[in-house]
Every structure is written in structure tokens, then in C-alpha cells.
Amino acid sequence: MTFRARMAAFLPPLLPLILSICVAETAVHMAWVPSYLIPAPSEVFHSLLDDRRELALAAWETLSSALVGLLISFAAGTVFSVALSSSDLARRAFYPYAVFFQTVPIISIAPLLVIWFGFGRPTVIASAAIVSVFPIIASTLLGLKSTEPSLVDLFKLYSATGRQTLLMLKIPFALPQIFSGLRIASGLAVVGAIVGEFIGGGGLGSVADSARTQQRIDRVFAAVLISSLLGIVLVGAVNLVSSLSLGSWHTSERKSS
């Protein structure tokens, strides 16, 4: 990519950001909005710099909890989906509960998690896992069920075992869907971790919560900024793994067809 092409790609999304920073800075300085509602971007920047050690530590704690939660939901979600995809009866019996799981607001079961897992990391990890498991189940199931029928016939023709059909056909065929589920789940895992931290303590969730009680709106904003960055980092990591494992066939196939 040439410099011009790079600028053409990055400038459009950058402009509104720069513009809104300028507007916010001006608005606070001119006292159009009270600074206890919206902090001046420069104050947020100062807060990021001054508390960088503490924020970095909290960010790492949140990220690692989100990551562990995501791994748990990925493992559990995949096993669950494989089990459901292999039996129509099992799917009819259990899928509604998977949907139910998604509709329960995490914030309402977070106190329960504290009762079960106590204050600290286990609650945070459980919260991240619960929030991120449904997209994994939904998209993995869809992927496992959309295998090309003639390829299934081909496997039947050579009397393939269920295990061969699953490992050599259904899972590879579902990989693009599995990755798109994982992409959604990775953003949600960060959300789940932060909600868990609000109640269970630790990480950026705690930083934001205690800054709120101290009326440090600039620190709240700093924590929010970093937590959304964490989401982007996690989604980016999934994208990287996805393009590494699908690059040779899936994306190039999209290009040619």
C-alpha cells in the first residue's frame, strides 16, 4: 500500500474522531458543558499518562480474565454444538436453553456469580464465559448443519464413520462460521469481564467503578477507552488466527467467486 492509499483508508474514520475531540475540548473550556459530566479530552489524556502503571495492570487483569473466559466458552460451546448437531432430539431438547442463556441479562445474574464463585477472578471469568458462549454455540451449530449435502453423500459413499465425517468434513466446513462466532464472542467477553469486575472486583471494572465514586470522570473515561481498546485487540487476535487458518482457501475463494 502506498502512503496515499494508506491515508485514503485511515483518514475518513480518523476525521470524526479528531473533530469530536476538538469539539469536546472546546465545549469544556468554554464551560458549555460542566466538566463533571464530560471531561476535557486533555484531562483524560493526563489521567492516562499519570495512572499508566495502575491502568496497565488493571487492563492486563481484565484482558486475561476475558481471554480465559473466552477460551472456556469456546471449548464448552464447541463441545455443546457438536453434541447438539449430532442428534435432532438433543438439539430440540437443549437448544431452547442455550437461547434462554443468551436472554438472561448478565448484570442480573452477576450477584449470583459472586455467591457461587466469591469475590475476585473466578466470578469475572464466569461472567465473561457466560456472555460470550451463545454466539459461539449459534454460529458453530449453523456451520455444522450447513455442510454441503453432496459432500456428506461422498462420505456416506465411502462408509465414513461419524468421527471421520465430523473431523474431516463438518468441522473444517464450519470453520468460517466458527470464526465469525468467535469474533462476536471476543468482544462480548471483554464486556462480560468488566461487568463481572463491577461486582466481583478487580481490573478495569473496579478502576471505573471507584473512579465514579470519587467523581473522577476523567479516570472513568480513561478506563472506558482502554476497555474498548481491549475489545479491539481481542477481535484483532481472532481475525489474525482466522486469516492464518482460512487464508489459503476461504478468503481467496471469496475473491474468485
Residue (of 163, 155, 100) closest to 130 by Cα position: 100
Smallest gap from residue 78 Cβ to other proteins (A): 18
- How many positions of this chain bind other proteins (CB under 8 A)? 25
Residue spans of alpha helices (H) in 30-105: 41-50, 52-85, 88-103
- Structure-block grid coordinates of residue 195: 461487568
Secondary structure in 3-state letters for 49-68: HHCHHHHHHHHHHHHHHHHH
Smallest gap from residue 175 Cβ to other proteins (A): 8
User: Binding other proteins by CB under 8 A: which of 10, 60, 100, 249?
Assistant: 249
Q: Which is nearer to other proteins, 20 or 161 (CB)?
A: 161
Q: Which is nearer to other proteins, 160 or 225 (CB)?
A: 160
- Structure-block grid coordinates of residue 47: 489521567
Only segment of 79-87, 125-133, 150-158, 197-205 that touches other proteins (CB under 8 A): 150-158
Q: Which amino acid is at 25?
A: E
What is the distance in angstroms between the CA of the first residue and the CA of the last residue of the chain? Answer: 24
**Residue 110 to residue 194: CA distance in whole angstroms:** 11
Smallest gap from residue 26 Cβ to other proteins (A): 53
Structural contact between residues 44 and 225, judged by C-beta atoms closer than 8 angstroms = yes
Q: Per-residue x/- mask for other proteins, residues 155 to 194, rule CB under 8 A?
A: xxxxxx---x---xx--xx-x-------------------
Q: Which is nearer to other proteins, 103 or 257 (CB)?
A: 257
Smallest gap from residue 70 Cβ to other proteins (A): 24
Pseudo-torsion of CA 89, 94, 100, 101, nearest 10°? Answer: -150
Smallest gap from residue 82 Cβ to other proteins (A): 18
Our finding on whether 148 is near other proteins (CB under 8 A) is yes
Burial status of residue 182 (CB atoms within 10 A of its CB: 0-12, 13-18, 19 or more):
buried
Smallest gap from residue 157 Cβ to other proteins (A): 5
User: Binding other proteins by CB under 8 A: which of 21, 71, 151, 224?
Assistant: 151
> Which residues contact other proteins by CB under 8 A?
148, 150-151, 153-160, 164, 168-169, 172-173, 175, 246, 248-250, 252-253, 256-257
